[in-house]
Amino acid sequence: MTNSTEIRPFRIDVPQADLDDLRDRLARTRWANELEIDYAGAVQTGPLPPEWEYGVPLSYVRRLTKQWLTSYDWRRWEERLNSYPQFVTEIDGQNVHFFHVRSADPDAIPLILTHGWPNTSLEYVDLIEPLTNPKDGEQAFHLVIPTVPGFGFSGHTRDRGWNRYRVAAAWAELMRRLGYERYGAHGNDGGSYVSPEVGRVDPEHVIGVHVTQLFSFPSGDPAELENLTEEEQGYLQFLQFFNENLGAYAKLQEQAPQNIAHALADSPTGQLAWVAQLLSGCSDEHVLTNATIYWLTNTGASSARFYYEDKHADHPKEPTTVPTGLASFAFDFRPLRRFAERDHANIVSWHEFDRGSHWATQDAPDLLAGDLREFFAGLT
């Protein structure tokens, strides 16, 4: 890789041999065993069905693997992704892949969208048309949708330190390189960690930051928990449930990401199962396309390292100051405003919706697009 600021066109063109190898491995899957438990009549007490008690069940993995092998069409998705302009450039020694779709509206606002794990830049593809080409009178956007270094078509990271802060600095450089003097930032999941830091690192150019989570937690001071409303207590109980029952992937990737890396690099079925717990509420096509991207780019290990690098980063003590907006969805982690205002000093928009989940681009895109328009139009 050369030290260059050149922006080069990019087109996804997976060799057929790689797809043949994928099919061969899927056909030869050695299935995991699991307990034979009769879940008939079991009551669902959490966000996942009872049969997910021990993790991703064999029945789910078998069903999606069969679909991956027999009916899923990667070439169709390759064609769709290639229908949007894509580019690569080198920033801070790392290859960065991104979509760059400009609106025909002269008043469009430049907006950089950051995905999370185990998603990829695929997360925002369904929002490209409604945000760049909205109905008459609605706010339009020029979209920059990068792939986080270590994920998908950006390829694996080559050195330490690719945490939220280094990614945010890379995004500020990317927007400068694209010629945008003023722009907004949005993120979900890991992108909700990165996007506020874009505002912190580049406040002179960032109009505002919009996220779907504000990950602000109790500091440990008992006084912070006094006088919580019943609703706020429910939010904290959900967070506790998630950490105790659904956060195993995060703990492993924060502490020893290489432990899982070898399995992910060798087994596409294993890669599918590893991303499935968080993505299982999305369509089968979305789950399989993300799994295919991770498999073809062999970035299971490097995407997991993002958690390790972020856990071991030096985190700023001062709050962010750029205008910040939250769109919080019903079946997702709900932040408490009293904690969020400790970490973000300029929250100007706070909307909680009665539908949608952690992946709102998939199940509440209309609400998310509408909140983005309202937030950024209000700032300008």
- Beta-bridge partner residues of 183: 206
Instruction: Please tell me the predicted confidence (pLDDT) of residue 228.
Output: 87
Q: What is the DSSP pairing of strand 86-91 with strand 94-101?
A: antiparallel
> Distance (Å, rounded) from C-alpha 150 to C-alpha 147?
8
Question: What ranges do the domains of the chain cover?
Answer: 8-22+63-219+248-378
Going by C-alpha positions, the residue among 95, 140, 91, 145 that lies closest to residue 123 is 145
Instruction: Please tell me the predicted confidence (pLDDT) of residue 266.
Output: 97
Pick out the chain residues at pLDDT < 70: 1-3
Q: Is 357 helix (H, G, I), strand (E, B) or coil?
A: strand
Tracing tokens 């199962």 back to the chain, one arrives at 273
Strands (E), the chain: 7-9, 86-91, 94-101, 109-114, 141-146, 183-187, 206-211, 324-328, 347-352
> Distance (Å, rounded) from C-alpha 284 to C-alpha 89?
31
pTM: 0.96
Phi–psi pair at 232, nearest 5 degrees:
-65, -40
Instruction: Please tell me the predicted confidence (pLDDT) of residue 215.
Output: 94
CB 326 within 8 A of CB 214: yes
CB 121 within 8 A of CB 143: no
> Distance (Å, rounded) from C-alpha 85 to C-alpha 66?
32
Vertex 335: Cα angle to 334 and 340 (nearest 5): 165
> Distance (Å, rounded) from C-alpha 298 to C-alpha 87?
20
Amino acid letter at 48?
L
Q: 8-22+63-219+248-378, which class in CATH?
A: alpha beta
Instruction: Please tell me the predicted confidence (pLDDT) of residue 3.
Output: 56
Active site residues: 189, 307, 358
Instruction: Please tell me the predicted confidence (pLDDT) of residue 38.
Output: 92
Instruction: Please tell me the predicted confidence (pLDDT) of residue 1.
Output: 44
Residue 8 burial class via C-beta count within 10 angstroms: exposed 0-12, middle 13-18, buried 19 and up = exposed
Q: Which residues of 186-195 are buried (b: 16+ CB within 10 A; e: fewer)?
A: bbbbbbbbbb
